[in-house]
Amino acid sequence: MRALAVPRGPHCAAKASATRRNKNKDVLTHQYTDLPIGTRPASARSGILWNVADPRNEPQDSTVAPVSEDQQAQAYATLASAFFEDPVERWMYSAPHQYRTHFPEFVAAFGGNAFQHETVWTLGGFSAVAMWMPPGIEPDGDAITTVLTDTVDPSKHDDLFAVLEQMEAAHPRDAHWYLPWFGVTAELQGRGLGGTLIAHCLSVVDASHLPAYLETPSPRNITFYERHGFSVTGEAQAGECPPITFMSRAAR
């Protein structure tokens, strides 16, 4: 991640244009109530409803399909389910209503650029989602800073932005594919869907003969990515923010 405008101190607010903020809110509004696919809880403990794929039907569906810009809300809902118990995201948004409201905005800021490049894929009707950024495309640093400044408790800003600075410093400068978001909806995890989806994505990456890079905030995901050729290259951590692990995969 590059071009991150990091505020200095917990009360420094970064301001984005009203147009960008309103566009994101239009995409995210009613994402949990208006989708045409069945609604179900993200975890037994959450009490939050996500509109994603019906688990009774989709685990057998191994179809990988591109996600269009008008399907952003479905993709964000899948990722919100997938990351509900993630240590970093829940440190940022500890209350369920905060997570439900603001996490999709963060996903949109950090990975939304991928939709216009047609590098977002879904497996089994939004059972799993992968948001990739092709070579030369980076997250919108201003949008990320604005969302985090506006939605995360100011007492966490120093630690959070220190971690983001470490992420920016470690990000590769050479041409590469970047995976900012990858997740399987909560009830379907552990059934091999993630492996199927990432194998498809890596076939696209390998066709370009370029390396791939990601950061994972969940220690349990490290072995998953290692099975698919990634290696740990470093870590970001500051204060009370849980660590984020950097991983890269050599060109094939």
Mean pLDDT computed over every residue of the chain: 82
Asked whether residue 7 carries a pLDDT value surpassing 70, the answer given is: no
Residue pLDDT, tens place only, 94-145: 999 999 999 999 999 999 999 999 999 999 889 999 999 999 999 999 999 9
**Mean pLDDT computed over 199-228:** 97
Alpha carbons within 13 angstroms on the beta-carbon side of residue 174 total 8
Q: Is the pLDDT of residue 33 over 90?
A: no
Q: Are the beta carbons of 54 and 38 closer than 8 angstroms?
A: yes
Q: What pLDDT does 60 receive?
A: 52
Instruction: Delimit the domains of the chain by residue range.
Output: 18-249
**Region 79-105 average pLDDT:** 95
Judge whether residue 88 has pLDDT over 50: yes
Q: Which residues contact 42 (CB under 8 A, 6 or more apart)?
A: 48, 49, 50, 80, 81, 84, 185, 186, 187
Separation between Cα atoms, residue 34 and residue 12, nearest integer Å: 36
pLDDT at residue 54, as a whole number: 47
Q: pLDDT class for 64, splitting at 50, 70, 90? A: very high
Q: Virtual CA dihedral for 192, 228, 174, 241, nearest 10 degrees?
A: 70
Confidence of residue 62 (pLDDT cuts 50, 70, 90): confident
* pLDDT category of residue 4 using cuts at 50, 70 and 90: very low
Cα 244 from Cα 235, distance rounded (Å): 6
Class of domain 18-249 as given by CATH? alpha beta
**R_g of the chain computed on alpha carbons:** 17
DSSP, residue by residue, 55-94:
TTTGGG---EEE--GGGHHHHHHHHHHHTTT-HHHHHHS-
